[in-house]
Amino acid sequence: MSQEFWQTFQEIQSSGQPFVMATLVETQGSTPQDMGAKMLVNETGLLAGTVGGGKVEHAAIETAQKMIRENQTNQIVTWNLQKDIGMTCGGIVRIFFEQMQASNWHIAIFGAGHVANALIPGLLRLNCSISCIDARSVWLDKITESPRLKKIELENPADYLRQLSKNSYVLLMSQGHSTDFPVLLEALRSNNFPYLGVIGSKSKRATLIRELRAAGISPERSEEFYCPIGLPIGNSSPEEISISVMAQLLEVRDRLPASSSTER
C-alpha cells in the first residue's frame, strides 16, 4: 500500500475514532482489484485505498459503516460479483473487515443539559462510546467534541431507541418529566437495557411508576429503572451528580457478566 494510505491509517488511529480496514483476501475469476488491496472507512465514508471501485466498493463501504454503527465484530464476506453485487464481471471476492478502536460499552444520554455537560467529559475518559440525544441544538453545541461522542438533534428523542443495541446503557436527563417519560415508556416496552436511569427524586419515581402502569406497563416491569440515578454520595450540583452517576454506571457494568455488559 502507498505511504499516503498508511499515513491516513496513523492519523485516524491517533484520533481515537472507530474505523474499519477492509482487505481483499481472496479473488477468483475476473475481479476489479488484486488480492491484498485495502481500504479504510469511518462513519462518514471512504478515507483511503480501494477494494475495487464501483458497486463492490459501495457494498464494502456500507458493510463497514454498519459494523461501526452496530459495533460488530470482525467478519469475512464472500461476494459473487454478478449475483450478489450486480456487476457484469463474474468473479468472486472475499473481503476481511476489521473493526478498529471500537468501544464495547455504549452509553446513550437523552438530554444535553447541565448534568449531561458535566457527565460526558468524565465518561469520555473511560473506554466507552456515547450518544447524546436532544431536540435543542444550542445545548448539544455546548458539549465537548470527541470522535467517540455522537450528538443527535432529534425532535422526538424516543425514536432513537430503535437504533440502540440491547446492551446500551440508557440515561434520561432531558428538560423534565414531559420529555423523559415518553423515552422511558418506549424503553421499557422495547428492550431490557442493562441500565435504564431517569434523573429525579423519589417522588418523581413514584409518579413515573404510576403513569407507566396507567400506560399498560406491568407492575413488575414498571419498576425496572433507576431513579434517583447515581450512588448516594455528594451534593446536588451537576458536577457531583455526574461523579455519582459515573460510579453507578461502573458498578452496574462490573457486576454484570461480560457478555451482558459489553457485547453489542
Q: What's the pLDDT score for residue 32? A: 84
pLDDT value at residue 103: 66
Interatomic CA distance for residues 229 and 219, integer angstroms: 20
Q: What percent of the chain has pLDDT over 90?
A: 68
- Using alpha carbons, select from 151, 99, 149, 88 the residue that is nearest to residue 123: 149
Q: What is the pLDDT of residues 90-108, one digit of tens each?
A: 789 999 999 887 667 899 9
**Whole-angstrom Cα distance, residue 173 to residue 170?**
10
pLDDT of residue 102: 65
**Other beta carbons less than 10 A from residue 91's beta carbon:** 18
d(CA 28, CA 160) in angstroms, rounded, equals 42
- Whole-number pLDDT of residue 98: 94
CATH superfamily entry for domain 106-261: NAD(P)-binding Rossmann-like Domain (3.40.50.720)
Is residue 203 predicted with pLDDT exceeding 60? Answer: yes
Tens-place pLDDT, residues 114-158: 999 999 999 998 888 899 999 999 999 999 888 789 999 999 999
- Per-residue b or e along 65-90, where b marks 16 or more CB atoms closer than 10 Å to that residue's CB: bebbeebbeeeeeebebeeebebeee
Q: How far is Cα 121 from Cα 130, in angstroms, rounded to an integer?
A: 10
Torsion on CA atoms 151, 157, 158, 161, rounded to nearest 10: -10
pLDDT at 109 over 70: yes
Residue 3 to residues 6, 21, 53, 57: CA-CA distances in angstroms?
5, 16, 20, 21
Domain ranges of the chain: 3-100, 106-261
Here the cell at position 66 is 454498519
Q: Could you read off the pLDDT of 237-252 as tens digits, one per residue?
A: 999 999 999 999 999 9
Q: Name the grid cell of 68.
A: 461501526
Structural element, H or E, at residue 26: strand 19-28
Contact, 186 vs 158, CB < 8 A? yes
pLDDT at residue number 262: 44
Tell me the percentage of the chain whose pLDDT exceeds 70.
95
124, 118 contact by CB (below 8 A):
no
Average pLDDT value for the chain:
90
C-alpha 190/C-alpha 186 separation (Å) is: 6
Question: Residue 90: what residue type?
Answer: G
Residue 264 pLDDT level (bands cut at 50, 70, 90): very low
